[in-house]
Amino acid sequence: MVRFLEENGFPMTVIIETEEIEEKEEESLTELGKQAAIAFGYRPEKIFKSTFTDAAGNVLCVFEHKDLRARIHWVNGFFTALKLKNSI
């Protein structure tokens, strides 16, 4: 869980819940090919699902991603858009 709290200076409170939903394997490989790929350091990709909510529990967004940093990039863009909207 990651929390961006309004009392810490963020424009609003955003709470991010993340769960690992699957490991995606290369489907085009045969079983022997998969064993060889693992022997050479291949690892299946992890897929995450993040749910963004506000302080009241309202869902702002749900999306799937491979990189945990994607959550931070989303919040950064959300806060930038919120600041621009409020300054107009």
Q: Residue 36: what pLDDT? A: 74
The model scores a pTM over 0.75: no
**Which residues of the chain are modeled with pLDDT < 50?**
none
Q: Which residues contact 41 (CB under 8 A, 6 or more apart)?
A: none
User: Facing residues of 24 across strands?
Assistant: 45
Q: Residue 88: what pLDDT? A: 76
SS3 string, 58-85, reads: CEEEEEEECCCHHHHHHHHHHHHHHHHH
Q: Residue 87: what pLDDT? A: 85
Distance CA(10)–CA(3), nearest Å, equals 10
Q: Residue 33: what pLDDT? A: 73
Write the DSSP symbol of residue 11. S
Q: Residue 26: what pLDDT? A: 56
